[in-house]
């Protein structure tokens, strides 16, 4: 296993520069248009597919980088370009990872190619977990999956919300309750194939930020899918449920902590997204402060502005350090004894909100207009303290980890 380092190797630098070039030349010029349109930027996704960024191979290469820095490096550069478009590009990866982590070889080979499509016929996928009454509290999930043994089919009913690509996806991955008595241990994930009757898009949300990313409800009404669409298969599910029932009294906390460890490992990627947005806003503010003159000199000569920029850069670098540390720990198999994954996501998210607000302030009236991108970046940054676990949930996870209390 590679030792932790802050120095990218030559191959990583080459990939970073390639992604940065795509973000600068393709994503950024399109950012304002798709933010205003509040639509999925299909032409940009198609171009990403054409060059190889929108593909399972690309994300797999970054995911299996032995240093752990591949994913955060890629996320930072893409979200430096624009958060809304970047989320449209990486959103399918959430569903693909769900299949990779839990699916059989046959399911992986069958469904993941259908999630991405081809450069000439681009598709997207959606991962559907949150519900109107079950966001942070996944134990309150109501979507049910009932097995029809006679037909070897699963029947799903419920409503999912905040689903990236929900309703427009070619393939949906849906988390549902199969045994309500087991709480979160009674959940399973299902593949909903294209054009399955009973699945429909509910409300499409008009959002404060990341407006180029499609977010909507997904309604499931007597959705019937083949038994083969249960991720991992029925035999594996039955074995897992049997173990959960046996451990319901004595081993519940261990199971919950194992699930929490999975979330911990994914949170640094969100932190990297936040770092990318913060860095973008900082660079705009720095360039503006160097060239904008007031009272006969650049405004960066004023301590009030210069000190803000110093703090912005310091916070960004500190956030990146936390993200890279947690990413390396996840790949190296190091336990998150202090909830380092949540630490990285919490700090980077708060930094993104702070830095983008400071960028707006440094640009003054110009920063408040849509003629400059920091206004959009400030709106986009608000999501980082909300999705993939709110800042309040991150603090709860960190505090309970430090105290030794069980994380529920």
Q: How far apart are CA 336 and CA 397, in angstroms?
A: 11
Q: How far apart are CA 72 and CA 269, in angstroms?
A: 5
Q: In the Cβ-directed half-sphere of 274, how many Cα atoms lie within 13 Å?
A: 36
In this structure, are residues 116 and 56 in contact, taking their beta carbons and an 8 Å threshold?
Answer: yes
Total Cβ atoms within 10 A of residue 320: 23
Q: How far apart are CA 400 and CA 367, in angstroms?
A: 40
Helices (H), 82-141: 83-102, 105-116
Indicate the pairing of strand 121-122 with strand 153-164: unpaired
Residue 131 phi/psi, 5-degree rounding, is: -135, 165
Indicate the pairing of strand 171-177 with strand 125-128: parallel
In this structure, are residues 357 and 378 in contact, taking their beta carbons and an 8 Å threshold?
Answer: yes
Q: How far apart are CA 75 and CA 132, in angstroms?
A: 28
Is-catalytic flag, 217? no
At a CB cut-off of 8 Å and minimum separation 6, what does 297 contact? none
Give SS3 for 403: helix
Helices (H), 217-251: 234-246
In this structure, are residues 395 and 346 in contact, taking their beta carbons and an 8 Å threshold?
Answer: yes
User: Could you say which of 38, 131, 388, 392 is catalytic?
Assistant: 388
Q: How far apart are CA 270 and CA 290, in angstroms?
A: 31
Structure tokens of 196?
């399955």
Q: In the Cβ-directed half-sphere of 116, how many Cα atoms lie within 13 Å?
A: 25
Give SS3 for 188: strand
Which are the catalytic amino acids?
Answer: 388
């Amino acid at each position: 296993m590679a030792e932790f380092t802050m120095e990218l190797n030559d191959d990583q630098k080459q990939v970073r520069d390639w992604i940065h070039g795509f973000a600068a030349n393709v994503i950024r010029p399109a950012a304002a248009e798709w933010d205003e349109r509040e639509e999925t930027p299909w032409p940009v996704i198609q171009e990403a597919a054409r060059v190889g960024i929108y593909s399972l191979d690309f994300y797999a290469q970054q995911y299996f980088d032995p240093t752990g820095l591949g994913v955060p490096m890629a996320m930072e550069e893409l979200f430096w370009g624009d958060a809304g478009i970047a989320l449209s590009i990486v959103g399918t990866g959430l569903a693909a990872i769900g299949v990779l982590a839990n699916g059989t070889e046959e399911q992986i080979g069958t469904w993941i190619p259908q999630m991405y499509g081809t450069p000439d016929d681009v598709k997207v996928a959606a991962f559907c977990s949150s519900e109107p009454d079950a966001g942070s509290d996944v134990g309150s999930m109501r979507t049910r999956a009932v097995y029809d043994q006679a037909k070897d089919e699963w029947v799903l009913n419920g409503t999912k919300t905040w689903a990236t690509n929900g309703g427009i996806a070619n393939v949906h991955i849906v988390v549902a309750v199969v045994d309500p008595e087991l709480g979160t241990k009674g959940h399973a994930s299902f593949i909903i194939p294209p054009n399955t009757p009973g699945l429909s898009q509910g409300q499409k949300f008009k959002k404060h930020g990341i407006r180029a990313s499609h977010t909507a409800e997904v309604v499931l009404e007597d959705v019937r899918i083949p038994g083969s669409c249960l991720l991992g298969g029925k035999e594996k599910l039955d074995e897992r449920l049997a173990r959960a029932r046996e451990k319901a009294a004595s081993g519940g906390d261990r199971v919950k902590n194992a699930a929490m460890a999975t979330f911990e490992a994914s949170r640094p990627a969100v932190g990297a997204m936040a770092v990318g947005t913060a860095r973008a806003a900082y660079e705009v503010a720095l360039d503006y402060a160097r060239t904008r003159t007031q009272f006969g000199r650049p405004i960066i000569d004023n301590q009030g502005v210069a000190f803000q920029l110093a703090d912005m850069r310091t916070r960004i670098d500190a956030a990146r350090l936390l993200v890279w540390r947690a990413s390396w720990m996840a790949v190296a198999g190091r336990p998150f004894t202090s909830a380092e994954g949540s630490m990285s996501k919490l700090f980077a998210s708060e930094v993104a909100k702070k830095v983008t607000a400071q960028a707006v302030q440094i640009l003054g009236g110009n920063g408040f207009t849509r003629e400059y991108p920091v206004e959009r970046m400030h709106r986009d940054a608000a999501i980082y303290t909300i999705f993939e676990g709110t800042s309040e949930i991150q603090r709860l996870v960190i505090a309970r980890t430090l105290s030794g209390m069980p994380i529920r």
